[in-house]
Amino acid sequence: MESRLSLQAQTNSDDITPEYALFNPIELDHLIEKAKAILDWGDTSIKYIAIVQDVECDFIDGDGDVNNDRYPQWSPSVLHVNQYGVNIVFEHHDSGHEMFFEYAPKHKAALHVKADCPNCEDYLEFESAPGMFIRNKQLNEKQ
């Protein structure tokens, strides 16, 4: 059975959003390694690189079920990748609001869940790895 990584949705939007999403950690790790090979992270002016690429993703609703059909208004926007992790950003079609999921590889072992059993109680919250970027400090607070 393939392991998938569950990450909590973060947004300042009042639009309907999923609780979590499942991602492929191998795919995200590959993006980080690619970014590490391209850029000199010792240059403090570089915070992240922006990549326009879709990643494997399934949205999880409040009941803990995969339910991509419930969230058609959210589409992938951009991936912000640095040497510590990936922010996967989605944009709302109507409002333009953003929702993102933050991936930090050092925490991935505790976050793996089976794709066929995505119960919310299996999801673990985590603190960001050092250097992770949050574009808006109020993203966790509803405005």
Paired strand residues for 66: 60
Asked whether the whole model's pTM tops 0.85, one would answer: no
Give, for all 143 residues of the chain, the pLDDT tens digit: 468 889 999 998 999 999 999 999 999 999 999 998 888 888 888 889 999 999 999 999 988 899 999 999 999 999 999 988 999 999 999 999 999 999 998 644 333 333 333 443 333 333 344 334 333 222 333 33
The side-by-side arrangement of strands in the sheet containing 98-103 is: 10-11, 98-103, 85-92, 74-82, 49-51
What pLDDT score does 2 carry? 65
